[in-house]
Amino acid sequence: MLILEASAETMATCRAWKRGGARVGFVPTMGYLHEGHISLVRIAKESCDKVVASIFVNPTQFGPNEDFARYPRDLKRDAAMCEAAGVDLLFVPPVEEIYPVGSATFVNVEGPITSTLCGASRPGHFRGVATVVAKLFGIVGPDVAVFGQKDAQQLLVIRRMTRDLFFPVEIVAGPIVRESDGLAMSSRNAYLGPDERAQATVLWRSLQEAARMFEGGERRAAKIVAKAREIIACSPLARPDYVELVDNETLLPVQGNIDGTALLALAVFFGKTRLIDNAVLQGKESQ
């Protein structure tokens, strides 16, 4: 596995692969990898000849009081995991490679898909995400890029940007990977203390109960949200940021009854740690 820090060398390597007829897959990450990330690499490998992963803790997607400085980092372990998963090139740029002095271009995806949910609690977050992903697409030039469904809103933002900017990249979603007790895998789970970790399963339990109600025929959005909130409230350490049932494509809140497919999206604080999770509620009628 090649490990490169320079954008120019990464670009040259990927372009050479493409000229040779290879289909290039890409998995962008912020590192501190877990099985969720590795599952995205596996998805990329299924349809691509070469797989590039990147590790870059992107400063522009963190707010001033967020965890940029303490975001967990372990490049040695990450590199070993990527190599074992069959990554061909691991791109680990320093900040100056992505944001060189004088760089002045940012990508703003507008509308409810960036202003609601995480966009409301983390102003500027999706501007940072869209900008870095656009830059990484420019460097790697992938045919396919794989993103986790856990960040459902991020996935929609990237799909929108890819369409709007005519990037010739197929965006593929990887299913949420969970710990054995249901907690969605996340690099930020490392922040949780033992009691917080034990109680963090309320996210999954609330989503499961909501899915059960939906499968049982409940379509009233308010009822489903109330149940999810009730389960989260069973954890004394949980502080919900949002619990919302939204349209799966526009992210606008579902008013009244669910008609078609909806997304139940959660963000819950445990101490300073903010965890997100979601479930797609899809009726048989819209499958």
- Does residue 97 interact with ligand PAF by CB under 6 A? no
Please say which residue, 246 or 276, places its beta carbon nearer to ligand PAF. 276
Per the DSSP assignment, residues forming a β-bridge with 240 are: 268
Please say which residue, 98 or 225, places its beta carbon nearer to ligand PAF. 98
Residues between 46 and 65 with contacts to ligand PAF, criterion CB under 6 A: 58, 61
- Residues designated as active site: 37
**265: Cβ contacts below 8 Å, ≥ 6 apart:** 117, 152, 153, 242, 243, 244, 245, 246, 276, 278
DSSP state of 253: B
Contact between 251 and 153 (Cβ < 8 Å): yes
Please say which residue, 58 or 248, places its beta carbon nearer to ligand PAF. 58
> Exactly one of 129, 177, 202, 281 binds ligand PAF (CB under 6 A); which one?
129
- Does residue 44 interact with ligand PAF by CB under 6 A? no
Residues between 164 and 183 with contacts to ligand PAF, criterion CB under 6 A: none
The least CB distance from residue 61 to ligand PAF, in Å, is 6
Q: How is the beta sheet containing 170-174 ordered, strand by strand? A: 2-4, 89-91, 50-55, 24-29, 144-148, 170-174
Please say which residue, 128 or 240, places its beta carbon nearer to ligand PAF. 128
**71: Cβ contacts below 8 Å, ≥ 6 apart:** 30, 32, 57, 62, 187
Helix (H, G, I), strand (E, B), or coil: what is residue 8? helix
- Does residue 29 interact with ligand PAF by CB under 6 A? yes
Residues between 132 and 151 with contacts to ligand PAF, criterion CB under 6 A: 132-133, 151
Judged by the rule CB under 6 A, the positions of this chain that interact with ligand PAF are 28-30, 58, 61, 129, 132-133, 151, 154
